[in-house]
Chain A
């Protein structure tokens, strides 16, 4: 029996360029064009292979223990850590999480500007920067991020409905991309994108983060929200036609991982499983923290994309 597949999509996901090479005014060795899908993930011409971002931070005290022990000394030097992720782990992107800004009474704004510059010097991959999440310091922090990465077309995170102005301002003023995060809710995702447009940010500078719950801890909500965002986009809702990023960071703090006998294996399994599921739902950037996750996830994505046997 022949089955015909004619879903009647009308729109493609918008393309977003991240990172800038020297010919684009920056200093990255590569820039990525993400988005552009005109069908569901892994069907037909459904876009590029999902990218894997390895996440590092500038203050490891609040980083998951399992990652700290796996990364050893690297955790104390973001530049070395980034270099390692680039050269040894072969990640596609680096995400620098400015965890130092999440501590009480943070005020070392110049310090984070320097960290960003050092990381930019130690790796030539495009960079995602995760800034503060406190309205009182956002303005200063994102000013620093924006300025330190001028011309590099960074991805800056995270804009939320209640606090998006500073992130948006940094993206507008210094030409970056932003991550717009909503709490697993398609309508709030849409509303935030509209707010960002009203603030003056062009639509091709937004990446949606629908928020990723850990597998077994709400991921099914994330999955169905991602599906709905993609359906809406393909059916013509331009406010939702942006590529998606998924960061299953919660996976490393679930009880099953914390209390596991084989912590590393469990952590990796949890990150890989959540990330693959997110890719199936349409995420094109997968952010992971455990170094062991990267090669396995890469292989899994390749198999999904090229259909080489089972996973």
Chain B
């Protein structure tokens, strides 16, 4: 067992001594980068022993530079299969494959394996996972003895006989950074940033390295390159893992993801099947839908508790459940990821619905503890099991959210006893989430989110999404906007810095105005989020409802998309929608989500909910107690009954008579016009 810290200090000393003693140094052929590591870090063009020593001293005796000088001074010509120093023209090709994505990342293997089969298994796994692997030290001999072919074209590059030849791995990284990453020689900070964020490399260290070699390998950590081992080293600098898990761990640490394209289940899976229902006659088994307890829950977990790709079924499988029956089903998904946040849980959980519906023989409806899932007879006869739903979910989540999810595992509970305690836990999590979102206020955050998805048909439309003002389509909350931005930083949802407040009451902010001006291509100068009259938000065409002022009533009416009849404005929903949509700003009219009606910010500038004089009965009923609660909270007890609907009238004259008769508060408010 080697103590890493001890080895590093002796090793560094040794590098220093030897570097000071070098007499001759010749430059490498086929490169415009001198000694590449030295050039990248210091900007110094080493051409001989004296300038080499100078750069070593100037960089505070960097072991990376010291080792590079030592390797260069030895001028050991390497015989095949060893490559030694690799020329620029080859590096250009490697760089191409890295940018192009045909190489996902870089691995370096050093040292001498105790058992050669470990090394071969690791190399094979790295090859399969599209990694480019560099080898230095006795590991190469051991692989060759084991019958493994090495060579650049096989993505196993044998650099040299000693582990110190790993210097060439670092000089390749340095050159890739200068050629492709725009790193200027001498800009060590940019180099480190490039190597740690873009180069996606890690080291696997077998035992048997000299102190000097350990010191060099350890120095690679400055470039953000983790060193993993399976034993033989002691200390915190290197990370210990099992041989089975070492490649996966390295790749996960660097965020390298292998894209799975085919989902290994006996059922076709595509968005094309999303709209296909499974009728009772076609159904083999169902879960939930009031016949049995069922729920779904997606949570963020600690990476050490998540084994990527694992599916566990607790309770009977499909072949042990009689046809036509209802079984309990708990879908528990645990995800881990450096970018994953607790806030994203509900957004991702909502995708279970789409993904299960992608399966040709699986169907899903509703959400949380209300889910209803069916599997078809046909799918079961093709061999589909409950376990496969887990595999489907894992594949789809990994494919669609590669940036967020590093590891994902699924547990499916079909045991009627075991599901109950987990269901209770799920319910308490749902409740916490509701409280968290319900409690979020516009003032709690500095960043709002835009949505310009609809610009394809409403060219200048910009939706501004805040915690209390969901997108007008009702489909995107502030949290969804935030998630969408993190998942796709160049997509249609961008952060908007709110900036200084221009008018807190109308919801006009400098940052929002600036963003809207730019995103509307200069068409819209101002946007007041909580106003219907003064610079209201633009409308695309997706709004769930339209709110418009009725000057005669000194109030506003709301009409939702589902209501087809007449309104007191004299226009139906579709006429109104055609009038205000297309990305225009129309004072007096706004397209809104239904949820916004219940928001405390709802047309705050004009006095809020007390202005509402008319809405269709289906909308009133849909809100029911939620609207009453909102009205009570605003201290407007009795308003619910005062809001007219089409059963009372759709005529503006009759509406005024009614409003007078119930003494609607809007009548005595300040004039809207």
Which A residues are within 8 Å of any B CB, using their own CB? Answer: 138-139, 142-143, 146-147, 165-166, 168-170, 172-174, 185-187, 191, 194-195, 198-200, 202, 228, 231-232, 235-237
Contacts and interface: CB of A to CB of B under 8 A. Distances in A.
A71 to B, nearest CB: 34
B521 A200 contact: no
B222 interface: no
21 contacts: A138-B100, A139-B97, A143-B93, A143-B96, A147-B93, A165-B99, A165-B101, A166-B100, A169-B100, A170-B96, A172-B95, A172-B99, A185-B456, A187-B492, A191-B490, A198-B489, A200-B99, A202-B182, A231-B522, A235-B521, A236-B518
Given A169-B98, A173-B179, 7 more contacts: A166-B100, A168-B99, A170-B100, A187-B492, A194-B490, A198-B490, A200-B99
Contacts of A232: 521
Nearest to B519: A237
A195 to B, nearest CB: 6
Given A187-B452, A232-B521, A237-B518, A195 B490 contact: yes
Interface in B510-546: 518, 521-522
- Size category of the binding interface on chain B: 20 to 34
Contacts of A186: 455, 459
Contact of A169 (B99, B455, B456, B522): B99
Contacts, number: 66
Contact of B92 (A139, A173, A195, A231): A173
Listed from nearest, the 3 A-B pairs whose CB atoms lie closest are: A169-B99, A169-B100, A194-B490
Contacts of A199: 99
Given A143-B93, A187-B492, A200-B180, A165 B100 contact: yes
A172 to B, nearest CB: 6
Contacts of B96: 143, 146, 169-170, 172-174
Nearest to A234: B522
Nearest to B194: A200
B391 to A, nearest CB: 25
Interface in B49-87: none
B638 interface: no
B416 to A, nearest CB: 46
A191 B521 contact: no
B181 interface: yes
B491 interface: yes
Interface of B: 92-93, 95-102, 179-182, 452, 455-456, 459, 489-492, 518, 521-522
A194 B98 CA distance: 19
A241 B98 CA distance: 28
Most chain A CB atoms below 10 A, which of B95, B99, B180, B491: B99
Per DSSP, chain A at the interface is helix
A188 to B, nearest CB: 8
Given A198-B490, A228-B459, A173 B99 contact: yes
A228 B518 CA distance: 13
A166 B95 CA distance: 11
Contacts of A195: 490
Give the one of B97, B456, B491, B521 with max A CB within 10 A.
Answer: B521
Contacts of B97: 139, 169
Given A139-B97, A174-B92, A235 B182 contact: no
A25 to B, nearest CB: 13
A235 B522 contact: yes
Residue of A142, A147, A172, A232 with most partner-chain B CB within 10 A: A172
A198 B99 CA distance: 10
Contacts of B491: 191
B99 A228 contact: no
A146 B179 CA distance: 15
B295 to A, nearest CB: 36
Q: Name, among B100, B102, B456, B518, the residue most crowded by chain A CB atoms within 10 Å (CB to CB).
A: B100
A194 B488 CA distance: 11
A7 B98 CA distance: 44
A88 B182 CA distance: 42
A179 B456 CA distance: 22
Nearest to A138: B100
B455 to A, nearest CB: 5
Nearest to B522: A235
Contacts of B100: 138-139, 142-143, 165-166, 168-170
Contacts of B522: 231, 235
Nearest to A8: B522
Contact of B180 (A139, A173, A187): A173
Contacts of B95: 169, 172-173
Contacts of A169: 95-100
Nearest to B92: A173
Contact of A187 (B179, B456, B518): B456
Contacts of B521: 228, 231-232, 235, 237
A67 B179 CA distance: 42
Q: Among B93, B98, B490, find the residue whose CB has the most chain A CB atoms closer than 10 A.
A: B490
Contacts of A236: 518
